[in-house]
Amino acid sequence: MIGLGIPAAGLGAWAFNDYGDAASFFAIPAALVGAYLWGLVMWRLMFRDLYARKRARATENATAAGERSP
């Protein structure tokens, strides 16, 4: 949201300034919602699998050491 949404909101408000205040006003929430949705998609596609593999490896290591899984 911060890294993509705020710059996109600012650029959107500036780019749509010629179309009136209403267009600039609607560009800001649209950019923030778009950045949030982009973050959700990236989490689902990339990071979820990465953390799942890390968690599985920790469970395997704990099982091999005879400990309880985290």
Report whether 9 contacts 23 (CB < 8 A): no
More confident residue, 3 or 32: 32
CA 22 to chain centre: 27
Query: No. of H helices and E strands in the chain?
Result: 3, 0
Task: Write the pLDDT tens digit of every residue in 4-31.
Answer: 788 888 888 888 888 888 887 888 888 8
pLDDT at 70: 53
- Residue 67, pLDDT above cutoff 80: no
Task: Write the pLDDT tens digit of every residue in 33-63.
Answer: 888 898 888 888 887 777 888 888 888 887 7
